[in-house]
Structure 1
């Protein structure tokens, strides 16, 4: 069992602008915990959160902990779901509804939570995390970011994903006031900043790109964003272009970091007063990193590491991601300094090689976004014989004249990129496909590009 939430004071929670009285929250947690226990949830028998309603998500997390049951963040496709003792949905009023299930899978008893990886670059995997890792994550993240009970944390992200859940752990550790939102809405977020004394905002790069555009138009929006103590950015790569754009219009930096579901998720963070642009921050206390092999793969040792990947069919653990001496292979390349500052070059499977030259997709994406009419971009490679990868740029744009947008993208890439890094193909879409956690769905994009290439051949 982990520490009681808000140990220093009654938990303070506001959901979609409505304050949840501490006594009401306690009643919901107690009732849900009893219903989970009655359904058979407990050590090794999971309670599955099957919705994104923030009140139900918070209550389910607390109730599963009280029942001693692993919390299954159930975001997988039906065929890959792990059988839980009980599934929790939200009623019309947003309160938890517990549905008992039969024949739950037997999970390792030290499993406290199961997250699904995003699947942005491959098949999603179920990550089994022990209670000690969750507790370490809350303490170490709160300490690095300087979060105390006086903070007000605005969270317009799903709590079913590792990033959102990590903020929940910080809330539970510190007794801060959590403002949980059903989703990100530009005007709603700015209203919260203007009226609620918010000190910390967490979001994904797409969200901050919209906020930066609004700040460029509206000085009051820029002032509100600059007034935050923490502007946490995670869930996907924060590109240098977005970092610079946000800093230029607000005068304030974004606080990005590096994490993965398998490691807590937070591994390193840039924090207020402890920030180094160009890196993903300094390693959290208790975390070590090294780079190994010719590809300079980052490996992690940490109290926040997973137990292993769960096999949905058997409940068994796969520890193939660990080295013989117990370090986690991340699949990312990068460097780490002697004093713990981490720089990430990219995913090993996403780094492009064109005519023998290494190309980071994020560099190409920043160049593509410089073109007028481009809202967002994702770049993938398709292997093209001995020439290496053919670079494809997928562009999100509201402009109906896709040919004109593609022409502007080509011109921007000629200005900003060497010839080998320029996209061979630009495809303009109304919206880029994304995973449940908001990342670009590169697996789907790569499949589209490969299929088109095969047909053309």
Structure 2
């Protein structure tokens, strides 16, 4: 089957009807090969039009989808195949290895599958007919429609089971909130295998918009493709936007042609004030932050008319904040709490709370090692994040609710990092246990120019009260990232231990990599 998309320089731009027509053809080929409703299928591949068509085809066929990052190792993939009781594996062929797990009866190479798919039966009809024929109604009723893996910035990945109705209804709430429309063109600078990128594929199909599939890991090429193909909505993590701004500084013409972008959206990691201000000054538009998770789907979004924080919560979803206890322990039950609505960079430490969400779109449960589902029975879901609500109802999410004690104070490293970002660079705060201090604080500043740590320390101390000031400052040209584009705190701590071992002994005030 020839790819029904505008293809040039690795860029593919299928319209809704093209996606539907190609997806139906792939669905017929999968049916011919023996795939049945309810079969559990691993999809593991890089972003491509073929990936999109196969994903939509599997939903159309009522498969139980297991989406994996294409960068996961073969051993990790085999573990997933066993735990998820997978019958099919579809993906890029990794050096001929066909993932021969004991429960995987068939491997299909993605490009071979799509090439073998001929025009679907009845494809001579109209484009609208093809779009209507692509039907997710059976998949919507499936309890284990989607098995996704949360990787986060710390901890072991968990297999999260989502129902088709929960997943699709959440996207319908998102569509109504954001106002996506048929004449839009999405430019996702994200892997499709995670919640954020995955949702954009279905949002494009549900809204009737076009989907620009570009080499997202090459931001310069992707942005030029967006200009050439009339992108109107860009989605990327904060780390990708930092790369974009750095490229634009060296190449002032890079952003030419993107005047038609009406929504610059971000998510997947906390958005610091330095990036927000820098982006607006360079691009002339706000970065619209959003909040969600693999377990919950989308929870809240900033919009052009409400560009503050993570915006308002989606209709039908409730958020509560449980005040932080003085001992740092997690609260037993949520309680409503709101801030005073000031700017995000203000000190709201007294109003911070642990974030709980009640959503009809939340996960069904977690997949256990033996393949059974451990149901999520609690009405309210504890996210592990913390933040505050403004008087206007805008949600501000600061980061993970991991408190440390220092000099008699209860401090949250990610809240400190958000305040410290007023220095004009991204900052990560790494706490280290200390018998005298309770915790010592290593402030890691991401500075491509690798400025003097002493200068950064002076600036940071001017922004913070004495009990929040750094014990040590380390300057790195950039921060290690995980597969989701979030700062990999585990890798960062390991790097600090290896390259600055004296920091664990309390001997230094500043260090440069």
- Same fold flag (TM > 0.5): yes
- 1:195 maps to 228
With over 3 angstroms needed to count, the CA separation of the structure-2 counterparts of 1:334 and 1:314, relative to structure 1, is same
Which of 286, 307, 316 matches 1:286? 316
Please say if residues 381 and 391 of structure 1, whose CA atoms lie closer than 8 Å, have aligned partners that are also in contact. yes
Which of 273, 279, 284 matches 1:246? 279
Query: Does 2:58 match 1:64?
Result: yes
Q: Match of 1:115, SS?
A: strand
- 1:354 maps to 406
Query: Does 2:112 match 1:110?
Result: no
Equivalenced residue count is 426
Which of 381, 388, 397 matches 2:438? 388
- 2:381 maps to 328
Which of 142, 165, 182 matches 1:149? 182
Which of 473, 476, 496 matches 1:426? 473
Q: Match of 1:434, SS?
A: coil
Q: CA RMSD in A?
A: 3.5
- 1:308 maps to 365
Distance 1:338 1:397 in 2: 35
Please say if residues 224 and 254 of structure 2, whose CA atoms lie closer than 8 Å, have aligned partners that are also in contact. no
Output one character per residue of 1:138-188: Cα deviation in whole Å (capped at 9) or x when no partner: 211111111011101111210001111111121121110000223242322
Output one character per residue of 1:38-81: Cα deviation in whole Å (capped at 9) or x when no partner: 465631x3211111232232122112112211211123663452
- 2:348 maps to none
Query: Does 2:487 match 1:440?
Result: yes
Provide structure 2 residue ranges, at least 5 long, that are not aligned to the other structure.
106-140, 326-352, 507-513
For the pair shown, which has the larger CA radius of gyration, 1 or 2?
2
TM-score (norm 1): 0.81
Distance 1:433 1:202 in 2: 21
Output one character per residue of 1:277-314: Cα deviation in whole Å (capped at 9) or x when no partner: 2x211011111111235453221122321111212x21
Distance 1:434 1:450 in 2: 17
Please say if residues 40 and 64 of structure 2, whose CA atoms lie closer than 8 Å, have aligned partners that are also in contact. yes
TM-score (norm 2): 0.73
Query: Does 2:398 match 1:345?
Result: yes
With over 3 angstroms needed to count, the CA separation of the structure-2 counterparts of 1:319 and 1:442, relative to structure 1, is farther
With over 3 angstroms needed to count, the CA separation of the structure-2 counterparts of 1:308 and 1:454, relative to structure 1, is farther
With over 3 angstroms needed to count, the CA separation of the structure-2 counterparts of 1:246 and 1:327, relative to structure 1, is same
Distance 1:393 1:149 in 2: 45
Distance 1:34 1:70 in 2: 17
Query: Does 2:464 match 1:417?
Result: yes
- Over 6 Å off, 4+ runs: 11-15, 97-100
Shift of the alpha carbon at 1:99?
7.7
